[in-house]
Structure 1
Amino acid sequence: MSATSTPSNPDDAALRMAGLAPAEVERMHAAARAIRGGAAAQAERWLDEVLEAAPEHPEALRLLGILRARSGRHGEALALLQRALAQRPDDAPTLTDLGNAQHGRGDLDAAFASWRRACAAAPDAPMPWFNIGRNLQLQGDTLPAVDALQRAAALAPDFIPAWILLGDALVHLGRFDEADDAYRRALRLHPACGDAWRGLANMKTRPLSEQDRLRLADALRRPGLADADRIAMGFALGKVCEDHGRYDEAFAALGDANAAMRRLAPWQANAFRAHVDAVLAASAGLPEPPDPQLGRELVFIVGLPRSGSTLFEQILAAHPQVEGASELPDMDEVIGEESRRRGQPFTQWARTAGAGDWQRLGRRYLERTARWRTQRPRSTDKLPANWLYSGLLGAMLPGARIVDARRDPLEAGWSCYKQQFYRLPHFACTLTDIAAYIRDYERAMAVWQATAPQRIRIQRYEDLLADPEGEIHALLAFCGLPFDPACLDYHRAMRSVRTPSAGQVRQPLRRDTARAAHYGARLDPLRFGLGLPTA
């Protein structure tokens, strides 16, 4: 979640080693190199030797605290870092690492307090500002994140990650001209920066120019590119070629990028199908909830990525009673916490959990997401993959409404293939896997929607295009919301949109988004898998 703070100034590093004998100084440098290289066991041995000679040396305690935090031993990390901080109360690197450990333990308020103390202690150092900006952005506090990242970029103009994260945050706020400038500043520093090209290409309402296409293609031919840069630039090149009507080149670029992604971590379609079968079995026959209204303040928006879920959330978030929280990790994390407590995956323990257990888990989710309902009484959770929990929600948060975002499966599947997803393995790296995933998703949702139509609404993107006002009235009514005309002007809603559709949902409805027809028989593996006629 956060960057550790490592002194780059040799004079500063020397000060941090003060009080150590030359042999211990060498061990400290070796331990720091081992931490950067991921050799945790070797780093710990060297730090143990240093602390045997100097048991309370603050820098050795700090580095050992970093190791403990990285291995998930956050309580031990906190104790070590607090011992170090007792000797150096205003040390920005130690405060940063303390915040990281507090964050890892789930104490967000304490973490942000520590990160803010680091910024106050070293106001002219870029890393504390970068760190707090990064974490504010991850928490959805985009406006203060921009301020912090702008400070970091001003203090370290050659620090590419600050410009990238600043560009991302500005996109989420709809400040596209400033975002464009931030990404291009990164490209001036590193013309083959995949994240910068990714950011520019993801501003989908601002097509890249022909000059950009040529520069991007040239950058991709550079020798020695990192895999991450090559993949990100491949997706960006596919996007710009499609925008310019160069469909053969677009398909080739996207094929290369997806093949590289799949080599990193292949998706196992058969294993996922078996998992969906297990989820369906686990969701059958769950106990009746003691409080049928628990979760009534929530709207989950689920489905296939690139199917209009961000648009539907933007419509709801334009309503004065609804806060759009975007893609939240909390549902997965609440289920994961319970699975770790029981020592079993949820598909094994779900059938044995009682009504009180599900109510406890529902309240845990509400507790974790309460900050999204401090200004408005209701909130959304727009993580598409939460469709897998739609059956469980009847027992866990029975008052919640679930909006299943649907789009023409061929268009949605092709749109997934064009989008770089960072969570690997991912189903979207081959057209065949995309078709298999869509089939599994649709069959599971059909079971749950038939069982509880009052909780689950299939919301079709094409229906919204055909009758915007009628569909918005129906969507609001399903969610138990009175009609508000602001929802018709959803694109004017001022909020942070933290998805690749941030640019699109700030414009009125567009009816020219279909692209699959341009690729003809190239998409036949997707058509065949979906049971559609081939080209």
Structure 2
Amino acid sequence: MLPRSHQLNPQIVPLLQATATALDAGRADEAERCLMQIRPIQPDHPEVLRMLAGLHSLRGRHVLAVRAMQQAIAARPDDALYHNTIGMIFGAAGDYDLAIEALQQACRMDPKLTIAWYNLGVMLTRCLRHQEAIPALRRAVSLAPQHPRARALLADMLHIRGQIAEAEAEYRHILAGQPWAGVAWWGLADLKTTRFKAEDVGKIRHAMRHPRASEDDRIAMGMALAKALDDAGDYALSLAALADAHQLARTRHVWNRQAFEASKQATAAAFASPLPAALTPDLGKEVIFIVGLPRSGTTLVEQILASHSSVEGAGELADLPLLLTEESRQRGQPFPQWVGDMQASDWERLGQRYLQRTARWRQQRPISTDKLPNNWEYIGAIRAMLPGARIVICRRDPLETCLSCHRQHMVNNEYTRTFDDLGAYWKAFDQTARTWLQQSPAHVFEHDYEQMQAEPETSIRQLLAACGLPFEAGCLSFHETTRVVSSPSATQVREPLRRNTARAQRYGPLLDPLRAALGQPPLDPLPTSGQAVQGATTHT
């Protein structure tokens, strides 16, 4: 195979190298400036197209990214790295099936391509195919023992299996050799039960200035630093660290609030009038969807339900949005534009396809859960595709929910970056939840997190009844249930129910901008805001 530099104009080689470096570091503006100089000279060279595809993907322009990369692959069909690149582009667009297919092809073409094995492990993990992900990650680590992200993802696997001490040791091992590895610092922060020590604050600050730290590293370290400062009771400094980390992330990708709100309005309009649902009235009766904002208790609800003898907790499945994306591609229209053209047979087809894709989760138990929080955006489609399915909408105090989202390092959840965007996102969720609770009370149930903390048995009995399940005492001791949990709440659901999870009061008036974004009044001022914040530091 010819080298990638074949027929490349020598004039643009340094610029192309600079573009690749900028893309690897997440510096979209810098990459774009380089490409603006390159493209007038040699726009159709496959390497130029590959860089252009990477820029489009970084900017969130997924259709353009795929188109550019497909053109590049047409010129170099046997290049494993090119198949790796398009795999990651598919993954960034949320099309995990195509991503896995492309990455598997890259691994077959070049079994020694470390990045392809690692990326394959990432995509398999996102699809909860953990048994397949672990060998791919081990292969990446065997090829590159110092690959921090591959090692960190293996540590994540230990975390979700409840092996906290082993996971912490693995993250610390990474940092011993690469103190700038943001993924390891965030991995420690995400263990939840592990408190940072005073010296960790200084270590993180020092690592953020390391010349080898990428923007991804600094974003992850900034989020970890905020956790360390919170552990120390320095709430103002913790919020400042979060603001810096989120601002750095926003230089790469800004959440388009206007487009999101327009999309939600279009979805509401598409499902406002009764639609022809799937032909089989009880289709989907074997599925329970658990939706809500991240950090609102969705993992806890799934853990409770998975403690029932009839229920398998499948986790955060990507199948529903992937099916809707597939339908959009076939119809040449984005969701929900094609909803009005759907017949009952079309919804039946989608519902049956969903059940086929998720059948493996019901091999041992008759009912499975689907706990992808953002599926609240698709409740209308769920009701049409799977009219027999139950939908549990999880609610938690909006201030606590949004603060927790803001403190969590959630890649591709760009609405978490600012208080105003968080407020807009929560309001859209709130309106959607209210609409479907009113329209489908027999199949849509609201679970209140704070009510469960106050009256756990009553709340759990109500949850089981709403899901059509008889009460089982094992659901009250959900923390004893052994299963893989791959969400940020993996540690908490293995503990008895805690009643001191509220954090907003510790920040006092510092959260007034978030209160305003949620339409809440400011906190009544206390004699000194410092006393208000420092006075609530006794629990974590």
Cα pair distance change 1:106/1:485, threshold 3 Å = same
Q: Deviations over 1:403-455 (max 9, x none)?
A: 1110011111111111122115x221111221222122111211111011111
Shift of the alpha carbon at 1:382? 1.2
The one-letter amino acid of 2:452's match is: L
Give the distance between the partners of 1:344 and 1:236, measured in 2 at CA.
40
**1:487 paired to 2:475:** yes
1:412 corresponds to: 401
Compute the TM-score of the two structures, normalised by the length of structure 2.
Answer: 0.78
**1:343 paired to 2:323:** no
Q: How many residues align structurally?
A: 486
**1:314 paired to 2:303:** yes
Give the distance between the partners of 1:530 and 1:99, measured in 2 at CA.
38
**1:251 paired to 2:239:** yes
Moved more, 260-269 or 521-530: 260-269
Give the distance between the partners of 1:101 and 1:279, measured in 2 at CA.
26
The one-letter amino acid of 1:235's match is: M
1:380 corresponds to: 369
The one-letter amino acid of 2:236's match is: D
Compute the TM-score of the two structures, normalised by the length of structure 1.
Answer: 0.79
Cα pair distance change 1:107/1:259, threshold 3 Å = closer
SS at match of 1:380: strand
The one-letter amino acid of 1:496's match is: V
Please tell me whether the aligned partners of residues 81 and 106 of structure 2 are also in contact (alpha carbons under 8 angstroms).
no
1:358 corresponds to: 347
Give the distance between the partners of 1:417 and 1:241, measured in 2 at CA.
15
Give the distance between the partners of 1:432 and 1:75, measured in 2 at CA.
39
1:220 corresponds to: 208
1:157 corresponds to: 145
Unaligned runs of 5+ in 2: 24-34, 48-64, 524-540
Moved more, 289-298 or 128-137: 128-137
2:415 aligned to 416, 419, 427, which one?
A: 427
Please tell me whether the aligned partners of residues 186 and 221 of structure 2 are also in contact (alpha carbons under 8 angstroms).
yes
The one-letter amino acid of 2:510's match is: R
Give the distance between the partners of 1:513 and 1:101, measured in 2 at CA.
37
Q: Deviations over 1:15-60 (max 9, x none)?
A: x779xxx989999xx9x9899788999797579xxxxxxxxxxxxx
Shift of the alpha carbon at 1:114? 7.0
Q: Deviations over 1:98-138 (max 9, x none)?
A: 9999998948998898799789x87xx96786466445433
Give the distance between the partners of 2:234 and 2:100, measured in 1 at CA.
50
1:61 corresponds to: none
Structure (1 or 2) with the larger CA radius of gyration: 1
Cα pair distance change 1:168/1:202, threshold 3 Å = same
1:54 corresponds to: none
**1:398 paired to 2:373:** no
The one-letter amino acid of 2:354's match is: Y
**1:463 paired to 2:442:** no
Give the distance between the partners of 2:46 and 2:75, measured in 1 at CA.
19
SS at match of 1:512: coil
Q: Deviations over 1:315-347 (max 9, x none)?
A: 112223222222222221211222222222223
Unaligned runs of 5+ in 1: 1-15, 48-68, 86-91
**1:203 paired to 2:199:** no
Cα pair distance change 1:439/1:93, threshold 3 Å = closer
Cα pair distance change 1:144/1:109, threshold 3 Å = closer
Please tell me whether the aligned partners of residues 69 and 86 of structure 2 are also in contact (alpha carbons under 8 angstroms).
no
RMSD: 3.9
**1:188 paired to 2:176:** yes
Give the distance between the partners of 1:106 and 1:283, measured in 2 at CA.
28
